[in-house]
Structures are given as structure tokens and as C-alpha cells.
Structure 1
Amino acid sequence: MAELTSTEAKPARAYVIHPELASGRTQRREPEHALAEAVALAEALPGIEIVGNEVARLRKPDPGRLFGKGKLAEIGERLKDAEVDLVLIDGAVTPVQQRNLEKDWGVKLLDRTGLILEIFADRARTREGVLQVELAALSYQRTRLVRAWTHLERQRGGLGFVGGPGETQIEADRRAIDEQMTRLRRQLERVVKTRTLHRAARAKVPYPIVALVGYTNAGKSTLFNRLTGAEVLAKDMLFATLDPTMRAIRLPDAKGGNSGRKIILSDTVGFISDLPTELVAAFRATLEEVLEADLILHVRDISHPETEEQAEDVAEILDSLGVDEDVALIEVWNKIDALSPETRAALRRTDERTQGVQAVSALTGEGLDDLVAAIDAHLAEVLDEPRETAIVTLPFSDGRRRAWLHDAGVVQREEAGDSGLTFHVLWTKRQQTGFEALGQDD
């Protein structure tokens, strides 16, 4: 990948190109909207300045240079005039095409996969996130060694005086990358085991998990902050959130108090069309929180001109992750504040008539009370079980489980006896199981 550092005295001058085939289009998106998304991706990368962009229409891709001679020269002139340092191609570019384009234009070049990897590398914060990005980047680099090493001849094997030629430099580098990927996978296994233990610990706390999913920049983190009071990075920027963030919150009760249902809210990485296959595999573990969710909130930027296409992309990724179709889902039509008053009012009327849809503005708070009520209603329908009374006796020293009972809101009455505390509880089977699992650690 290109080496882009924010410590340079001045930002790299970047030019964004979206290649569009003139025939056989299978894309759902309009090329101009695809270009706009590519520019937004580029703007999310630190240390660069966007100096131009264009849709480059092609009859068919040239196997050696992607663009034909005429288009190649035409774009080259524009890059020269704009003093471009870096070209970002919104699509797949083969190693050979990348090498030739860099040579012809005298610039560094990143394709869509390389660009997204650069962004992820800049944003990952948790240990798992960093390892996932490094693994994905190595997988990507392994396929592109031809750029650097095709001109080198075979190295001599052994000590130089016995045997024939040894391995090529590209083979040596590929072997080094494979060894590093093996080390990273081992480290990831340890990290994932730790996270699995954390998940197991959370499972003992019988609170339902509500996962926020959606296309990147749909406003998930803003909504997460609104609902939890957290300060997760929330910017008008693609991939502002990379690492999963979870918070336990209590939904307000019917009277607006704080005695309502307690839930765990999870913010996840934003989805995007044509996500690099390296990253789909690498971040599958990160998205496991979605697989365990009791309720999914699909946050949509309803003001975006291609909100329907983005929703289809999210649905496809959820399906590829193996999300159960029976999991309850609410569509959250976010950013209604960006719409005209007439359109906004119409959407609010639609959500009143449509089950499983809530129109909101995470920025202004409009519609959030109705969303919270809908979350509670969905969870009540999906999770609420018959409650049974029971009597639990704990020694005075067991403050941990006593706190658990009160935190879960199941205590009807508490009495102190000679040998300990007696609790009269009203709980579900799920809560009873969680409490009993807590005692197994002792």
C-alpha cells in the first residue's frame, strides 16, 4: 500500500477516478453517486488533499493499463496540470495495471481495496482491530508483490558455491508474509479467546443485546451517543467507527423514569458496497456481536439519494454473516433533519403506520422517544417470558450476587436472617439461568 504519513509538511495531492464500463453495467448505483462515495472515502484518509475527481467511462478495461491509450493520455495531462501525487481508483486494479499506471503517470496509486485498508489502518484502536487490519493488509500486499519484484532475477541458493539458483525474491517475500500472517493469526486467536470469555461473562448478565448496523456514515455512532450518553467518535465521515463499542443502558419506563428494561447497546463498523474480501473475512469476528443480538437496529441515512441501494447492501452483508431471519429488526430512518419539513412530516406519518420503522434524527433527538418505546416493545414481544416467584438465600458475604439481583430489578422483598439474606424475587427463566451461572464461578 502507499505510504501516507500525516507528518509530511504538506498533504499529498490526490485525484479520484471512478471507472465506469459503458456496457454490461450490473451496478445498482449511478456512477456519479459512486464517485461521490469514493471522494468521501478519500476524504476520510488523513494526510491528503483532494484536487480533482472524475467518472472515466470505458468500453472495456485494458488488461495492462485499465484505460485505453487515448483516455490514459487525457487523464495523464490532467494529473500533470494538477500536480497530483496520488491517484485513487474506485475499483479493482490488478498488480500489473497498478505498476504500469504508476510508471506512466509518475504517481502513487491506490485501488478501492488499498484505500479502505489505509483508512482502517488509521482508525483501528483495539488490539483485535489492529491485528485484523494488519492481517488484511498482508493478505492484500501478498497479491501485489509483482509490483516491486518482477524485475529481479533469482537469488543464488545456499552459500553460493553449491547447487543451482535459489528462490526468487518474490518467493522469499511471499514466504516472509506468510510467516507473519501465521503469527498474526495466532495472536488473533488469543485475542478472540479473551473476547469470547468476555462474551460468556456478558451472557451471565441476562440483558438483551441491541446491535446498531447500517451503511457507513448513516449516523450509528451519533445515535449510540444519544442513547447512551457515551462519547464515541461521531463525524460526518466514512468509517468513523471501526472497533465495536458496547454500553449497558436502562430504557426509561412508561412514566419516563429510570426503572425500565436494561439492555446492552452495541455500535458496529459501518457496511459499504464492494467491501474488500480481505476485510470481510478479517472483521467477521468483530461483527459477531450482530449474530448474538436479540434486536437489530438497521440505521439508514434516509436523506441519501441512494438510501434504498445502501439498504440492499446492508441486507446482503447481514445475510452473508448468517444473521437469523427470525431476529427482530427495526429500520431506523435517520437524518430526517436533513429533509424538508414536508418530507419529514410525511416520513413521520409513514413510520406511525408501518410496523418496524422509526423515523428519527439522532442529531436533534426528534423521534427518539418513539424509537426507545419501539425497542422496548420489540424486546417485550421477543424476550419476555412468564415470570415466576422464587426465594433466594445468600450469605451476608455474597455482595456480588446481591448486587446482581438488585441491578436486574427482580427483588420484591429482602429480609435479613441469622445466617444471611433472603430475597423474594420475581424473574424469568432467562434471569434465573443467568443468576445460577454467576454462582458457578464461585
Structure 2
Amino acid sequence: MIWLCNATLYDGKDLRDGKWDICVESGKVVEITPSRGKKSNFQDDIYDLEGHIVCPGFIDLHVHLRDPGQTWREDIDSGSLAAAAGGFTHVVAMPNTTPPIDDPSGVRYVREKGRKAKGAIVLPAGAVTVNREGKMITEMIGMVDEGAVLFTDDGSPVILAKVMRIALLYLRDLGIPLMEHPEELTLSEGGHMNEGRASALCGLKGIPRSSEIIGVERAIALCRETMGRVHLTHISTKEALESIRRAKQEGLPLTCDVTPHHLVFDEEMIIKSYYSSAFKVNPPLRAREDVEALFKGLRDGTIDAIATDHAPYHVDEKDLPFEEASFGIASLECAVAAVLDLWYKRGKPFSLKKLLELLTIGPGSIIGIDRTLKPGSRADITVLNLEKEERVDAEKWNSKARITPYDGLTLRGWPVMTLLGGRIVYDSLRQEVCHEV
């Protein structure tokens, strides 16, 4: 039995007033009561969490774990541990592996290995098209039966609109979302960063914002026509977000997410960092006006979730001149801290409850995972210390990634404990708060 005592509680619906004791036993929450002081049963694990927040376990809809076939970059085991250290109890692994996850056996591989991992549960996403080539849809029913929670050709869009339309019709009946990476490849091809002032100063070929805008508009048109569920991932431009806002007002079954790095950084960081490849990502870091638009989308509910798009690479693939380096930012272990730190620095531009929703019930509702804490619910729990300040040190990460734009930054607000089904999978509290056995 584990007691989480004297905590502020966000239960998935409300950020409750006062202090609360949460009792966990046999994988479930068995009791939530107003705090009555420390327990005395020597058989219990008791954590005094005064000053901490207990939340439903965080969900990341978008991670690249490179398994199978690219495990020198990351694997399901290392990614699972990294996710738990970052406060996540569930992550969705993208299917752009080698081979891609485009049949039921591939989904089964990720599901079984993801359930056996020592950290967060890794859930499989299936490819929309065979070999992610955009020509023929995959065996979706069989993949859903094996545990696929969404479908995406991420790393690229579904190339042919006709194929995406057919896929949405199938998925509409299955009740599963299609996650679309909105990009018009003929516009972005050969680009390295956002097309604009910074690219002109750098002399690097830019990726125009129209590449994302066209991808979003296409997805919205197909969503409207089929009424299949569309989730638009890593939105980065103000125009794309405005299109999504209008589509939601129509009542279309459309959701979207934004990454921490598109909130924390903008295109100017590439110049300020002297062209560090750590800032090379697709979609690229955008202009300051886009960052402001994303914050507006967080405040007004247009954005449904924060997802990391964790994209780890080996140092030999990333520690290169900017033009030669791979696209991608690794962040699983510090993403939540980066968002909390930014929330503080911007003067708490929206409520803490809203921020926690973007990491819990928002992504949970998209893939059908209940994120409420109540007696009888599964004990997937994240504990936050909003006052903790710590320097990001990628050399100490569970992830295999070692190059990240967050490395060396001191961030305020960190996950300090993660429970999965009542089992502690990450715990940095033993040195920080009173722990009694």
C-alpha cells in the first residue's frame, strides 16, 4: 500500500482546494480523502507530498522510439524509461521504423515489448499506408485488433489525398483517429529552417509556412467530407491554427497538438546558437508571431494536447553542420519541465488546470484512455514539484539521445515521481521529501 499525503490534487476534472491523501493498493486508487496527517502503519509506503501536485499520469501522443531497426538511436526499453522520468505513463510510438509498423505483426511487436518495458507503457501507432509510401492502405482492422491506438505515416504526410480519404472512411467506422503530419513535400523539399528573416540572414534554404498550411487545409477538407477523425500533429503556424479553429467551430471531428519546442523556441534561436543543429527540426521553429498564436490556441482550447515529437538521433547523425544534420529534437525527459518553466516565465498565461489538461485528459480522450483519479480507477499517477529547479544534463538521460537544445538549461517545475498501475516506475523523491516505511 502506498499513501501519497498532503498533496494538491488534480483529479482529471478539478484542481481541488486543500490538501489530499491518496491511497494506492493492488494497482488502483482505493481512497482519496482530505489530508489527516501522516499515517503510522509500518507496512505502508508513505510519501509526504506537501508542496507537490498529484495528477493523472501524463500521455505523450507522439514519440519516435526507432524500434525496430534503428535501435542505435533509441529503443522501446530506453524510451520507456525516459518517458517515465519525464512524468509520462503512456507514450504512442510512431511507425516510421525499419521496417515500418504497417501490419498486425509489427503492431504486436511494439505492443508486447511496450507492455514489458520497465518504464511507461509504449502504445503502437500503425502506418496508414503500406511501407509508408502513400499508395495502399494497411490492414487496419487487424492492426486495431493487435492494439494500434491511431494511424499515421508520420515523418511524412499521407502523400495521396485519395488514399487518405479512403483511410478516413475505414477509420471512421473503427472509431480510431488518423494523425496527419501536415506538409506539402514539394514546397518543403530541400529546406532547412523556416523561410523568413532568419533564413535570409543565415543564407539557408527555407521551408515556407504554406507547406504546413496546405497540409492542414487538405486534412480539414477530407475530414469534412468523410467525418473521419483527424488529429493534426506538431502545428507550428498561426494560419494553420486559425484554420483548425474555424474547422472546430463547424463541429468537425478534428483535434491537434503542439510540441514544447515550438512553444519554447523560435527561428531566432538558430542564429543565436550559431547554427547549432540541436535546433533543426521539422516542422521548423517558426517566427515569434507564430509562437504567440500557439499560446492563444492553448488558452482558448483550440489545441487539445502537448506532444513531444521526441526524435532521438545518434550523435554522429546530429553533431554535424546545420545543413547536413538530421531533423529532430529529443526531449522526453525534460519536456514537461520545459513547459512548466515557460508557463512561469510568461506569467502563468493560463490556469494550471488548463496546462495539466493538455498532458492528461486532452491526449487521453484522443486515444480513448480515461485520465481521472477516483476510488477504483487505475493508479497511473504523476507527481509534480512546481518549485524544483534543475539543470538539464542529457548525459544522464535514460534516452540514448545526447544532443538537445534544452541541454544546460535550468528549468523550474519537474515531475518527481511516476506510478504506473500502482507501481513506482520513477522516483526522485527519496532524497527530497520525507519517505517513511
* Interval of TM-score (by shorter of Structure 1 and Structure 2): under 0.3
**Greater helix proportion:** 1
TM-score of the superposed pair, with normalisation by structure 1: 0.25
Normalising by the residue count of structure 2, what TM-score does the alignment of the two structures yield? 0.26
Compare CA radii of gyration and give the structure with the larger one: 1
